[in-house]
């Protein structure tokens, strides 16, 4: 599922076109919530479980929203995870045996020429918010795809 108010360059999608549901809206919009609640939009193939946390649950959330990291984490926690997470995620055990999980990849949009304290502030703010939905195992990365003003936070979330 691609949630973006912009257009998708469909010719670039090739064979993946049939597997992508494009929600042409903001992540926090009511249209997006309706699309996320429709299991047909994230369950491909017959005989797959459509239950939250099932075999066809949303496993990866990638966000490149051009907003502050804390705002992005809030949208993910408030508007997206409650719909796709298993209702019992709060009961997930701590430690190594947490059960099924998905991955969140969040691009942090930072100020120009950020100092380490700016990077840490943005990453720790997003982490604190994501932890409220059970997210764990956080990694802060400066990928080759990031500009000098961006960093990437990756973490796991319980299904």
Structure confidence by residue, pLDDT tens digits, 29-72:
888 888 777 766 655 444 444 444 444 567 888 898 999 999 99
Instruction: Name the strand (E) or helix (H) holding 118.
Output: helix 116-131
Please report, rounded to a whole number, the percentage of residues in the chain having pLDDT higher than 90: 42
C-alpha–C-alpha distance, residues 111 and 48, integer Å = 44
pLDDT given at position 52: 44
Regarding the domain delimited by 2-158, which CATH topology (the fold level of the hierarchy) does it fall under?
A: Rossmann fold (3.40.50)
Structure confidence by residue, pLDDT tens digits, 69-79:
999 999 999 88
Mean pLDDT (the chain, rounded): 81
130: pLDDT confidence band, cut at 50, 70 and 90?
very high
80 neighbors 36 (Cβ within 8 angstroms): yes
CA distances from 5 to 1, 28, 65, 66, 104 (A): 13, 11, 11, 12, 20
pLDDT given at position 119: 97
Residue 122 pLDDT more than 90?
Answer: yes
Structure confidence by residue, pLDDT tens digits, 98-114:
778 889 999 999 999 99
């Amino acid at each position: 599922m691609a949630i973006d108010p912009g257009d998708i360059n469909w010719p670039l999608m090739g064979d993946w076109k049939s597997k992508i549901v494009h929600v042409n809206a903001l992540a926090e919009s009511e249209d997006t919530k309706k699309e996320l609640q429709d299991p047909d939009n994230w369950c491909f193939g017959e005989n797959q479980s459509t239950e939250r946390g099932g075999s066809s649950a949303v496993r990866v959330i990638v966000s490149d929203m051009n907003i502050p990291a804390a705002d992005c984490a809030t949208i993910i926690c408030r508007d997206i995870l409650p719909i796709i997470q298993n209702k019992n995620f709060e009961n997930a055990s701590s430690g190594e045996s947490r059960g099924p999980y998905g991955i969140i990849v969040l691009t942090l949009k930072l100020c120009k020429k950020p100092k380490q304290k700016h990077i840490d502030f943005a990453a720790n703010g997003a982490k604190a918010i994501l932890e409220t939905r059970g997210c764990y195992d956080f990694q802060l990365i400066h990928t080759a795809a990031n500009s000098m003003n961006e960093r990437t936070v990756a973490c796991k979330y319980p299904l």
